[in-house]
Structure 1
Amino acid sequence: MANIAFLGTGLLGAAFAEAATKRGDSVTAWNRSMDKVVALAQFGVKAATTPAEAVQGASRVHIVLKDDAVVEEVIAAARSGLLPDAILIDHTTTLPTLTAERAERLHAAGVKYLHCPVFMGPPAARNAQGAMMVAGPRALFESVEADLAKMTKRLQYMGERADLAAANKLFGNAMIIGLTAVMADVLTLAQASGVDG
């Protein structure tokens, strides 16, 4: 059983935290809206009132937040509570340039950081489905590979370059949006032509 933390318990973060407790991990979580953390008590998730409190004693800290600016703010708030060997595992969809800058800055300060965005929704997160990409130091990835593999159906290490997972996540998002737009156009044309969609 590992002591882990989740910073951000929106739909995806909450699903990850719930699944972690079901695997036997001891989970502490923080979210700006405390009601979202308190709702996870039924699964055994302990609520923290600050990011620093949430990460105390955690070997892994999973970050599932809105964007780069929030990630920066929350990591800064959590730093004082981090164990020296704790690993930050950032699942947030972020910009490649900012991700690379953040990783370089954190590594230079001795903070262990991996960027691990995902292609999955809450149901997939609860059932270890979907895909997770990882970018960062190989040795660091290998140290948590078995734990990350329990969270997803497909785990793919993209390489040492810190922004590779961020870039591939954006490529994937663009493809999904593009396909959806094409399908919407086709169905609109069908409707206009009196053809059953």
Structure 2
Amino acid sequence: MTHVGFIGLGVMGSRMAGRLLEAGFAVTVYNRTPEKAVPLVNRGARQAATVTELAGEADVVCTCLSMPDDVIEVYTGEGGVLSAARPGTVCLDFTTVGPNTSRKVAEQADKRGIAYLDAPVSGGPEGAEQGTLTIMVGGAKDVWERVRPLLGVLGKTVEYLGESGAGSAAKVLNQYLVAVHTVAAAEAMVAGVAYGLDAGKLYRLLKESYGDSRMLRRHMEQFVLPRQFAPGGAVKYVHKDVRLANELMNETGIGRCLGGQTEAVFAEAITDGLADLDMSAVIQLFEQRVGVVVKETE
């Protein structure tokens, strides 16, 4: 039986680890806040006291962390994964980071005979729970072939994209669209209400028109119209993602266009105390600017 170690038990990681347990994998978990591991331990996971302990016994190490610096520290820092994992171990990083971070860790892993794939995911907590995530994979193709059954437990669409960094590049481009669409939907809905249109009627028309988008539907139905902004994907993380996407845009020569404006909106939202709310909460910036609230009235 493949022994899986899972580090990072937040909104996404806890659900992904749970899927692996349900599929019959032996799973050891670690989280900086130990209490977050308790529900998984109650379902049959073993809890490791340290990253070193987990990495030393796992055949596959999975990580789902918050920020690029967290990935660097967990893998290459003192007592990190690469210092303890056995040669031949496969590491799967599900974190959204820039391709440069993925390549940096992959190079260090390769020196130790450890395989490392960047495998960021899209689909939110509901996708993690249902095993319907989209997983974007970069790294050695033969390693990807070895772990396809495991990834298939977590994702409905699992795509190999190329060498190290390719998966991370695809993910930040996805997040670029997520962030830009989020701001555009917020601006349009606030402008409509400020003009005197009914928010519910406007939304229902937009979702049946060419202006429709998955982000418009997600934000309006789950968060904005019911005025419930507990995350989902928090503002602070989407700000990080669009910043990474803008770095990629600069590297390709496109530069900062819509992404630059979008990054500024998310930065302002963080300054205004919205960092830990769902990304859809950026609409509150525009609501405050014009003195309206977008909510269902019928």
Larger relative contact order, structure 1 or 2 (CA cutoff 8 Å, min sep 6)? 1
1:112 and 2:109 matched: no
2-side partners of 1:109 and 1:23: how far apart? Answer: 30
Give the drift of 1:62.
0.4
Number of corresponding residues: 196
1-side partners of 2:105 and 2:57: how far apart? Answer: 23
Equivalence for 1:122: 125
5+ unaligned residues in a row in structure 1: which ranges? none
Q: Say which one has the larger Rg.
A: 2
Equivalence for 1:38: 38
Equivalence for 1:180: 182
Identity fraction in percent: 29
**2:4 alignment partner, SS class:** strand
Equivalence for 1:167: 169
Normalising by the residue count of structure 2, what TM-score does the alignment of the two structures yield? Answer: 0.63
1-side partners of 2:112 and 2:42: how far apart? Answer: 37
Cα deviation code 1:105-150 (max 9, x no counterpart): 3213322100000002222112111200000011111111122112
Q: Which has the higher strand share?
A: 1
Equivalence for 1:99: 102
2-side partners of 1:123 and 1:175: how far apart? Answer: 20
Give the drift of 1:35.
0.5
Give the drift of 1:179.
0.9
Cα deviation code 1:88-117 (max 9, x no counterpart): 000011112222222123213322100000
**1:113 alignment partner, SS class:** strand
1:18 and 2:3 matched: no
Equivalence for 2:57: 57
Q: Which has the higher helix share?
A: 2
1-side partners of 2:84 and 2:124: how far apart? Answer: 29
Amino acid at match of 2:119: C
State whether residues 149 and 155 of structure 1, in contact with CA within 8 Å, keep that contact through their aligned partners in structure 2.
Answer: yes
1-side partners of 2:10 and 2:19: how far apart? Answer: 14
State whether residues 86 and 114 of structure 2, in contact with CA within 8 Å, keep that contact through their aligned partners in structure 1.
Answer: no
**1:150 alignment partner, SS class:** helix
Structure 1 residues 81 and 101: CA distance shift in structure 2, 3 A: closer
1:78 is aligned, of 77, 81, 94, to 81
Amino acid at match of 2:46: K
Structure 1 residues 103 and 81: CA distance shift in structure 2, 3 A: closer
Superposed CA RMSD in Å reads 1.3
1-side partners of 2:19 and 2:56: how far apart? Answer: 20
4+ aligned runs moved over 6 Å, structure 1: none
Amino acid at match of 1:196: D
5+ unaligned residues in a row in structure 2: which ranges? 200-298
Give the drift of 1:182.
1.0
1-side partners of 2:41 and 2:107: how far apart? Answer: 36
